[in-house]
Chain A
């Protein structure tokens, strides 16, 4: 990767053009007719550049970026699997891309078929009854799913249920989505094994509880084995179970959330179903529900039919997988995670040793190299040093249960050789730390930029050119 300093505005030169529009054939009326009081007075300053400038500029920017096609992302709870290229071609097909969202259904039969078939496929994979595709990302799915839970209670005239239980190990979006949905958060504690403590949960369950949000496996990569008892308890108390699908990948082809007693769930098509992350979206967060909640699926949380382009990609992936290969997706992801865990536990602290699912958490280095006058290497240091060796960093400092958390999730699309390379680098970093932690404090060294001054960025925000 090569450092490139320009912003597009800095390439601007008066008189350059990068657009071409059809010749004017009708009389020009706007300037004459549009009343001054409605027109913009502040001149609009956009870059004036040539087409070549634009192409080279953005190509140069792209060369400072790491993506799945560049290398391996061991990023916990993010499921950065390979993004198949056929998906992109399908999504770009003109007969889908040119459809207006308000066209009558009789003119969009193909698109409607895609939605219906994707709905059926996701229902088969998850054990839910039907999905809504309105949500545009995972957190949006959570919000929509919680609205469905609230609507269900309200429809029964049960107005008291305004609290939701969220485990302390939950993704940060869970409490944030609950708050946006007007729900009060009640935290459930994890026990020493990192699982939801059923005994701690029991007293929380009264007639003000709308439900519980869980992810299973949880953010420590552990399967919540008591899920059956939890489901019974929550249901007996009149609440519903919400499944956060961010951690669905290890269950793909193996376990269905619907069978575990979950009533509502979301999926991240940009995680489990191979659609590209796009540097932070567009994603798609369809919400599935059990039979009795189907009447509430209509809750309207976005403009049209959701991110249809993302749905096309996910369905192409499902067709490629088919009923044969789907059964291997989850198990291979789990194998990869356990393989890394077992290979590195002699260099990194492993607080929970049992078999993990798609991800697991190290709590920093066993030997962080701390000595007189030299601070030990932290999780942040390890993460930054990994960048030097051509790997993306794992998720760090999450979950909050461990102070030096390094959360690692490989996916099923990574080969043994890639994992072996990663393991070797992680071992080397541990050795470097033990010898001279300063190498890690200074990392990264080989990237286009070094560590930024984030404090100044936040104290004196410069947010536009």
Chain B
């Protein structure tokens, strides 16, 4: 036997076990596999490394990443992570647990999911939440399918063109193969056009749902007054795409009259980690509960009358309903749901308000100072929170190179040719002033 820390078998174990099974060698266990399929070559992998070598190898790779101070959002936000959060989520009883199907030995997981669902309901104002989705864009795509499932016999979903590009992209991908029709709602002065929406609703009887961003790709806080009435008048459902952190201060999807709320919970202290793992969320009004995809935890009593938690309403799910399930999702982002639950427990509503205020104040300071440099122009005159776009009056390419060299990730160019900035509570005034002074140079 090779000596390898993850294989416990000794030579003697092998001998005894093979004898019990009634074969001579490990190879004999594959006697049912046609010989052609048994791989006899050397695998094109590196030779086995010791743990020390693996660590050194990754340190070497890590050194090839530039550590940049982050002034970009676009769906992934550099908020601070309190140290309690990774400390708790790394507990092996959470980390190495399976899906909580055996509820008697999974009350830890089930309870935190129940707490997570409760917090998502409070942030969004919705009645019910599922146990999480992969990320924001896939949650939006599932909401698209949910709208069509609720409407029966209608196949169109309207998407605002002010949604983040990756959200539009993923929803369109899902729709293409699912057989749904996507129609874009145009923007007016940086926000979803109410007139364009009305015109589409008037002219088309196949609309099952409408997806709008609560904060959009330009960082603008959208005003959705009376949007819900228009959508509901056509018996379609309204889906709001949100940044979960900002709902602590902004009008909730429920307050806008939405039926479904989706989005990403990454902004609740989840590290950027080059794009994942994050956590998608999905919540809805109780009328739509049975169409909600994904796992859901509910409260009940055990035989002794103790309050306990179980996975419930499973008859919607793939392992029971197979092709008629509301979705194919099973594994979601459970541990990241714990991450945001612990984060929200630490922050409380006051902390969440302060995080948003600090981000708001920083972003508005940077916005004003950048305009003062004369190298940018205003694009929109609309309310924003932590993220905004400007029109560059200088060469963006060379500006960016200069910024990377100085250790900043900022002024990312958008599809429209604007540059985008984002400020969270993590950015200090000193960092902003350094960024501004580099931009001011030349």
Contact = CB atoms under 8 A, between A and B. Distances in A.
B388 interface: no
Nearest to A150: B177
A464 B121 contact: yes
A387 B102 contact: yes
Interface string A91-134: 11111111111111011111101100000110011010000000
B247 A355 contact: no
B289 A461 contact: yes
Interface string B250-275: 11101100000000100000011111
A110 to B, nearest CB: 4
Contacts of A414: 8
Nearest to B33: A223
Given A21-B351, A41-B251, A328-B7, A448 B104 contact: yes
Nearest to A256: B39
A368 to B, nearest CB: 21
Contact size range, B: 35 or more
A45 B32 contact: no
Contact of A280 (B18, B49, B295): B295
Contacts of B344: 46-47
B78 interface: yes
Contact of A303 (B42, B276, B324): B276
Interface stretch (B181-189, B233-241, B299-307, B434-442): B299-307
B358 A173 contact: no
Given A62-B108, A75-B98, A334-B29, A43 B349 contact: yes
Residue among A8, A39, A82, A278 with max Cβ neighbours from chain B (10 Å): A278
B51 A178 contact: no
Given A21-B425, A46-B344, A465-B114, A310 B277 contact: yes
A361 interface: no
Nearest to A322: B48
B312 A458 contact: yes
B103 interface: yes
B93 A62 contact: yes
Residue among B49, B131, B346, B412 with max Cβ neighbours from chain A (10 Å): B346
Interface in A167-226: 172-173, 175-182, 185, 222-223, 225
B230 interface: no
A64 interface: yes
Contacts of A103: 66, 68, 409
B352 interface: yes
A173 B409 contact: no
A428 interface: no
Contact of B104 (A86, A279, A387): A387
Contact of B32 (A28, A185, A281, A354): A354
A127 B64 CA distance: 29
Interface string A222-258: 1101011000000000000000000000000111100
Contact of B76 (A34, A100, A312): A100
B16 A416 contact: yes
B15 to A, nearest CB: 10
A320 B51 CA distance: 7
Interface stretch (A51-59, A287-295, A371-379, A429-437): A51-59
Interface stretch (B193-201, B204-212, B333-341): B333-341
Contacts, number: 658
Residue among A17, A319, A342 with max Cβ neighbours from chain B (10 Å): A319
B357 interface: yes
Contacts of B232: none
A86 B55 contact: yes
Nearest to A321: B48
B98 A124 contact: no
Given A136-B277, A332-B9, A343-B20, A281 B336 contact: yes
Interface string B338-372: 10011011111111111111101110110000000
A3 B360 CA distance: 43
A335 B18 contact: yes
A156 interface: no
Interface string B375-399: 0000000010000000000000000
Contact of B98 (A73, A228, A282, A416): A73
A323 interface: yes
B404 interface: yes
A279 B99 contact: yes
B348 A172 contact: no
Interface string B132-159: 1011111000000100000000000000
Nearest to B10: A416
Contacts of B21: 335, 338-339, 342, 355
A305 B355 contact: no
Nearest to B179: A182
B72 interface: yes
Contacts of B61: 110-111, 113-114
Given A310-B277, A323-B48, A449-B302, A58 B30 contact: no
Contacts of A78: 98
Contacts of A9: 115, 118
A281 B361 contact: no
A207 B106 CA distance: 47
A362 interface: no
Given A110-B62, A254-B39, A281-B335, A463 B104 contact: no
B348 A19 contact: yes
12 contacts: A17-B350, A94-B67, A125-B43, A139-B330, A225-B34, A277-B99, A279-B334, A281-B134, A302-B138, A324-B47, A452-B303, A458-B298
The 8 tightest CB contacts between A and B, nearest first, are A322-B48, A304-B275, A101-B275, A278-B335, A65-B108, A282-B277, A95-B62, A280-B334
Given A175-B322, A320-B4, 6 more contacts: A67-B97, A96-B273, A101-B275, A259-B36, A322-B46, A415-B9
